[in-house]
Amino acid sequence: MNRLANKVALITGAGRGIGAAIALAFAREGAAVVLAELDLETAQRTARDIEAACSQAGIDGARALAVQTDVTQSTSVQHAVSEAQSAFGALDVLVNNAGINVFCDPLTMSDDDWRRCFAVDLDGVWNGCRAVLPGMVERGAGSIVNIASTHAFKIIPGCFPYPVAKHGVIGLTRALGIEYAPRNVRVNAIAPGYIETQLTHDWWNSQPDPAAAHQATLDLQPMKRIGRPEEVAMTAVFLASDEAPFINASCITVDGGRSVLYHD
Encode pLDDT of 248-262 as tens digits.
999 999 999 999 987
Q: What is the mean pLDDT of residues 191-218?
A: 92
- Is 180 a known active-site residue? no
What pLDDT, in 10s, does the model give residues 122-164? 999 999 999 999 999 999 999 999 999 999 999 999 999 999 9
Compute the distance between CA of residue 173 and CA of residue 193 in angstroms, rounded to an integer. 18
Annotated active-site residue in 162, 180, 194, 262: 162
Burial class (CB in 10 A: 0-12, 13-18, 19+), 106: exposed
Compute the distance between CA of residue 47 and CA of residue 66 in angstroms, rounded to an integer. 6
| Domain-located, residue 97 | yes
How many domains does the structure of the chain reveal? 1
Burial class (CB in 10 A: 0-12, 13-18, 19+), 234: middle
| Domain-located, residue 217 | no
Q: What is the pLDDT of residue 245?
A: 97
Domain region containing 185: 8-195+228-257
| Domain-located, residue 53 | yes
* Alpha carbon 129 to chain centroid, angstroms: 13
Instruction: Say which CATH number the domain at 49 has.
Output: 3.40.50.720
Compute the distance between CA of residue 218 and CA of residue 215 in angstroms, rounded to an integer. 5
CA angle 57, 61, 65 (to 5 degrees): 105
Q: Under a CB-based contact definition with an 8 Å cutoff, are residues 9 and 26 in contact?
A: yes
Q: What is the pLDDT of residue 1?
A: 75
| Domain-located, residue 3 | no
| Domain-located, residue 16 | yes
| Domain-located, residue 219 | no
Distances (CA, A) of 33 to 86, 148, 190, 202: 13, 21, 19, 28
Compute the distance between CA of residue 25 and CA of residue 163 in angstroms, rounded to an integer. 27
Least confident of 10-24, 80-94, 105-119, 193-207: 193-207
What pLDDT, in 10s, does the model give residues 8-18? 999 999 999 99
| Domain-located, residue 74 | yes
* Range list of β-strands (E), the chain: 8-12, 32-37, 64-68, 93-96, 142-147, 185-192, 251-254
Supply the DSSP symbol for 225.
Answer: S
Is the pLDDT reported for residue 264 higher than 60?
no
Residue-averaged pLDDT of the chain = 96
Q: What is the pTM (predicted TM-score) of this model?
A: 0.96
Q: What is the mean pLDDT of residues 82-93?
A: 98
Compute the distance between CA of residue 13 and CA of residue 211 in angstroms, rounded to an integer. 28
| Residues 6 or more apart in contact with residue 3 via CB below 8 angstroms | 29, 30, 237, 241, 242, 243
What pLDDT, in 10s, does the model give residues 49-84? 999 999 999 998 999 999 999 999 999 999 999 999
Using N-to-C axis directions, what is the helix angle for 210-219 and 198-206, rounded to 10°?
120
